[in-house]
Chain A
Amino acid sequence: MRSRFSLFLAPAAAIQALLFAAPLIVVAGYSLLSRGAYGGVERPWTFENYARLLDPLYGAILWRSFVMAAAATALCVLLGFPLALFISRSGRRKNLYLQLVILPFWTSFLIRTYAWIFLLRDSGLFNSALLALGVIQEPLPLLYNSSAVLLGLVYGYLPFMVLPLYATLEKLDPALIEASADLGARPWRTLIRVILPLCRPGILAGAMLVFIPCLGAYLTPDLMGGGKTILIGNVVQNQFTTARDWPFGSALSLALMALAIVPLMLGVRRRGEALL
């Protein structure tokens, strides 16, 4: 009786095995081979690709990616928490405000990134406006630097932080907040000593949803960093396309996967909340 539900699961299991697990196994195999003369892979088997990960050049890129992802995550918590708090306290308008966060959550990441290119480039809206007002004589270099990449990541992933934060705040027992106020705590103190600690699961869930894609970000650094702020995602892409060093690209992507999975394993029990 029980086993018959397998038929419902079989197609998804087959697709997961074939299009998720098998590709990772192929990549793991490639990461242990050598680069072929025409860009493919060849024997002999080697650990050389992993040894190259320790090269200071790639170490620096890995570190930069980590710092960038951590900074974006921290900014998303700082900017997202008050917004989630506001939405959770806005009574009948709650749904409307929630939609305003959900909409960018699902809308084209590419277009949302492009919008900032339009605003920030030399002949973009900000520079044009400032030039017209006579505030500046030369356009400011707002785009194609690491601050622009950070801005792009925060803008892109802020909704991913607000939604899980909102979900936890929503479930918060108001009696606890009232009790804190009744006992004489000022709003700020209630926020820091009562609300924030109770929101830990939401903060962790949101942090995961922001940190992991930021760590592997490819599109934002490429478009908004203009090739100057190279992150690990860009190196992976480059190895598989222009550089055609698939074995090294494979080793790099497995390293990236491992870095992304560590925080994931820490938070995996909270996945119910993480997923909307």
Chain B
Amino acid sequence: MKRALPAYAAIAFAFLHLPLLVLAVFSVNSSRFTQWDGFSLRWYRAALADGNLLEAAANSLAIAIASTLLATVVGTLAAYGLHKRHVPWLSGSLYLSLVSPEIVTGVALLAFFQWAFRYLGAQLGLHTVILAHTAFSISYVVIVVLARLRSLDPSLEEAALDLGATEWRTFRRVVLPQLSPGIAAAALLAFTISFDDYVITSLVAGVDSETLPMVMYSAARRGASPVLNAISTVVVVALGGLILISERLRAA
């Protein structure tokens, strides 16, 4: 078992990572076909020249930034509240929304928006995607920030309260500064999850709010393409970087 285990682990890590590495390698292949034909950045240039793609990327970025800001603020406040006070229905609901099958969350939001919009006269668009992303990101923020809160020394906070600071002031001046690495980590995660999401997004997006994963999805459905390899590589490297920073902050 002593030697078998490392050998197995090597294979398992290869299984997890090789497919993406292969994708990256072929994204700089000058041939359109799956045989190596020399290094070239032509597929990256092709991606940059695609207006549709750039617009979708801009949409994804706008949605991710807006929903991350909202979810981080709301989730951080909620984490502190839940840290102070046991509210089983709220933690239960956050947990349930985290583990519900995405497709169910997605169609439920679609049905809800369509039902509400009959009375409000609104339509699906960027705003509905931002709302949906905010809703599912909050749970992740709460988990990450709550873990940080639990590792803090409670005596500082107690001292502030004993000295007459209000809860809000204590939170602002004592708790928040200590929480900042955790909050940053949570925000980076929320951003990644939002930028990546396809299933829920595709259901609640309007005609003018196509996101990058939506464009990539329809391309992947038609098969593989070297341009898609190039975009995938950029997204994986960029989001992977954010994840690593987030992990560092969480460990700090």
Find chain B residues with CB under 8 A from A16 CB.
90, 93-94, 97, 135, 138
Please, how many residues of chain B have a CB less than 8 angstroms from a CB on the other chain? 85
In the assembled complex, how far is the CB of residue A132 from the closest CB belonging to chain B, in whole angstroms?
Answer: 7
Total inter-chain residue pairs, C-beta < 8 Å: 253
Find chain A residues with CB under 8 A from B103 CB.
216, 218, 233, 236-237, 253, 256
The residue on A at minimum CB distance from B76 is A8
- Decide if A63 is an interface residue (CB 8 Å cutoff): no
Give me 7 other A-B pairs in contact (C-beta within 8 A), A102-B243, A212-B100 excluded: A2-B85, A23-B109, A26-B112, A27-B112, A30-B111, A115-B23, A271-B95
Interface string of A3-47 (1 = CB under 8 A from B): 011111101110110011111101100100000000000000000
Contact A104 B77 (CB under 8 A): no
In the A-B complex, list the 7 residue pairs whose CB atoms are closest, starting with the nearest. Answer: A216-B101, A8-B81, A12-B78, A23-B108, A23-B112, A115-B19, A19-B135
Contact B240 A118 (CB under 8 A): no
Interface string of A185-223 (1 = CB under 8 A from B): 001100100000000000000001100110110110011
- Decide if A121 is an interface residue (CB 8 Å cutoff): yes
9 inter-chain pairs at a CB distance below 8 angstroms, sorted by A residue, are A9-B82, A13-B78, A86-B6, A102-B243, A107-B236, A114-B220, A187-B1, A237-B103, A237-B203
In the assembled complex, how far is the CB of residue A207 from the closest CB belonging to chain B, in whole angstroms?
Answer: 12
Contact A125 B236 (CB under 8 A): no
In the assembled complex, how far is the CB of residue B18 from the closest CB belonging to chain A, in whole angstroms?
Answer: 9
> Given A24-B108, A121-B224, A240-B110, A86–B9 Cβ distance below 8 Å?
yes
Contact B102 A99 (CB under 8 A): no
Contact B107 A249 (CB under 8 A): yes
- Decide if A257 is an interface residue (CB 8 Å cutoff): yes
Instruction: Tell me what chain A mostly uses at the interface: helix, strand, loop, or mixed.
Output: helix
> Given A19-B135, A106-B243, A79–B101 Cβ distance below 8 Å?
no
> Given A23-B109, A256-B101, A223–B221 Cβ distance below 8 Å?
yes
Contact A236 B104 (CB under 8 A): yes
A261 to B216, CA, bound (A): 31
Q: Which of B1-37 contact A (CB under 8 A)?
A: 1, 5-6, 8-9, 12-13, 15-17, 19-20, 22-23, 26, 33-35
Interface string of B200-221 (1 = CB under 8 A from A): 0001000000000100110011
Contact A5 B81 (CB under 8 A): yes
Find chain A residues with CB under 8 A from B104 CB.
216, 236, 253-254, 256-257, 260
Contact A111 B235 (CB under 8 A): yes
Q: Which of A63-105 contact B (CB under 8 A)?
A: 79, 82-83, 85-87, 89, 97, 99-104
The residue on B at minimum CB distance from A235 is B103
A87 to B135, CA, bound (A): 34
Q: Which of B19, B75, B167 contacts A4 (CB 8 A)?
A: B167
> Given A5-B85, A223-B220, A19–B100 Cβ distance below 8 Å?
no
- Decide if B189 is an interface residue (CB 8 Å cutoff): yes
- Decide if B115 is an interface residue (CB 8 Å cutoff): yes
Stretch of B44-52, B119-127, B152-160, B191-199 contacting A (4+ beta carbons < 8 Å): B191-199
Q: Which of B80, B95, B236 contacts A111 (CB 8 A)?
A: B236
Interface string of B122-139 (1 = CB under 8 A from A): 000000000110110010
- Decide if B244 is an interface residue (CB 8 Å cutoff): yes
In the assembled complex, how far is the CB of residue B223 from the closest CB belonging to chain A, in whole angstroms?
Answer: 6
The residue on A at minimum CB distance from B171 is A8
The residue on A at minimum CB distance from B167 is A4
Contact A101 B16 (CB under 8 A): yes
- Decide if A128 is an interface residue (CB 8 Å cutoff): yes
Find chain B residues with CB under 8 A from A218 CB.
102-103, 199
Contact A15 B216 (CB under 8 A): no
Contact B9 A87 (CB under 8 A): yes
Contact A222 B221 (CB under 8 A): yes
Contact B102 A216 (CB under 8 A): yes
A237 to B5, CA, bound (A): 42
> Given A8-B171, A16-B94, A20-B97, A276–B108 Cβ distance below 8 Å?
no
Find chain A residues with CB under 8 A from B1 CB.
187-188, 191
A146 to B4, CA, bound (A): 30
Interface string of A112-144 (1 = CB under 8 A from B): 111111110101110010001000000000000
Find chain A residues with CB under 8 A from B171 CB.
8
Find chain B residues with CB under 8 A from A19 CB.
109, 112, 131-132, 134-135
- Decide if A159 is an interface residue (CB 8 Å cutoff): yes
The residue on B at minimum CB distance from A100 is B13
Interface string of B86-97 (1 = CB under 8 A from A): 010010011111
